[in-house]
Amino acid sequence: MKTMRKNRALIIIFFIFLCVLIPSVYKAVSNSLKTKEPIRIIYIPKTMDASNEFWSALIAGAEMAAKDYNVVLNLVSPDAEEDYEKQNELIEWAIEQKPDAIVLSPADYSETTNTAKKIVKNNIKLVFIDSTVDEDIQDALVATDNYLAGKKMGEFMKTFIKEDTKIAIVGHVKTSSTAIEREKGLRVGLGEDDSRIIDVVFCDSEFTKAYNLTVELLEEHPDINMIAGLNEYSSVGVARAIKQLGYSDEVKVIGFDSSIEEIELLEEGVFEGIIIQKSFNMGYLGIEKAIKLAQGKKVDKNLDSGSELITKNNMYTEENQKLLFPFWGNQTVEYSGH
């Protein structure tokens, strides 16, 4: 009997012990499994223009990365690509929010630099997407190698050079790193034929302004028979003008980027070729790098997201169709940095 009472007492004590211990253990385990505060990232592109398929695809890539990694992504931008002053204001605002990382597509090669430096001074990770500035201040850069892309364009243009060829360039924003590097590469690709460039104008990334500039160029220089556009706005504006004026057989047009309209104009023969960027990948990988930096991981500092020359002859290959229509079917990201 004594033994039974003793065992019962031990059982009661053990039960009481469990009642006290289990909630404590559960609480400790629960706390250890709780997700840490989500990583917060602010991305400031040059613009968020729904009519521009380059920016639409890039931002879609950024948003998909944020969703895949379950981070908080806040997107803010100026209304116009060239508005570096507004972008600088947004950078100041973003710093005040104290995010884990700021991702930036600098609107101006030099005027954005000092404000972007403040991001680094405030110990916030800084990733550039698409563009850069005139000082090496970023933790990582994900962009098309714009010099190489421009060189591809120039080398392709060179194949059409004749004795009477006269060339014009319609760029986007004169002080953006993308415009500067693409023009530089294009001239190298042309080699000695860069002397055939008789004018370079800038449309400030406006379709209508690119159209009007093309009309003015042809009025002022009726002997122009080749025009290069350096981004989607400039390329589409040029091609619209050439098509409407009925000059498709007389003026060779080479473009940049890959909107649906550009693809149609390529099929019609208004464009001889277009240099396309992998904008979805650029956006995805830029956010991915920002996340890894916020986690204290090392990443490659510079990543070329790639570019391809697309012509009417190669546009229908399976590989190029995936590049031209990234939202048809499953989108894949080609590279994951470490």
Contact of 79 with 55, CB cutoff 8 Å:
no
Contact of 95 with 40, CB cutoff 8 Å:
no
Distances, alpha carbon 264 to alpha carbons 206, 259, 260, 270, in Å: 20, 9, 6, 9
123/160 same-domain check: no
Residue at 338 is within a domain: no
Domains in the chain, number: 2
The mean predicted confidence, pLDDT, of the chain is 89
Nearest to 230 by CA among 266, 253, 255, 211: 255
161/265 same-domain check: yes
User: pLDDT tens-digit profile of 198-229?
Assistant: 999 999 999 999 999 999 999 999 999 999 99
Residue at 22 is within a domain: no
Contact of 15 with 47, CB cutoff 8 Å:
no
> Given this model, what pLDDT does residue 8 score?
52
158/224 same-domain check: yes
> Given this model, what pLDDT does residue 90 score?
98
Q: What is the CA radius of gyration of the chain?
A: 27
Phi-psi region of 173 (alpha: psi -120 to 50; beta: other; left: phi over 0): beta
> What ranges in 76-130 are assigned the alpha helix state H?
84-96, 113-121
> Given this model, what pLDDT does residue 327 score?
58
129/248 same-domain check: no
Q: How far apart are CA 98 and CA 80, in angstroms?
A: 25
Contact of 283 with 65, CB cutoff 8 Å:
yes
User: pLDDT tens-digit profile of 110-152?
Assistant: 999 999 999 999 999 999 999 999 999 999 999 999 999 999 9
Residue at 99 is within a domain: yes
61/129 same-domain check: yes
- Among 277, 293, 327, the domain boundary falls at 277
Residue at 249 is within a domain: yes
Residue at 122 is within a domain: yes
119/86 same-domain check: yes
**What are the backbone dihedrals phi and psi of residue 269, each rounded to the nearest 5 degrees, phi first?**
95, 10
Of residues 36 and 227, more confidently modeled: 227
73/173 same-domain check: no
> Across residues 185-206, what is the average pLDDT?
98
79/196 same-domain check: no
pTM of the model: 0.84
Both tokens assigned to 174:
């004169």
Nearest to 155 by CA among 191, 207, 112, 103: 191
> Given this model, what pLDDT does residue 35 score?
39
120/187 same-domain check: no
pLDDT > 90? residue 263: yes
283/139 same-domain check: yes
Question: Domain containing 203: what range?
Answer: 146-277
Contact of 286 with 142, CB cutoff 8 Å:
yes
Residue at 4 is within a domain: no
173/132 same-domain check: no
Residue at 295 is within a domain: yes
Residue at 116 is within a domain: yes
The CATH number given to whatever domain includes residue 239 is 3.40.50.2300
122/136 same-domain check: yes
The strand ranges marked E within the chain are 40-44, 72-75, 101-104, 125-129, 140-143, 167-171, 197-202, 226-229, 252-256, 271-277, 302-304, 307-311
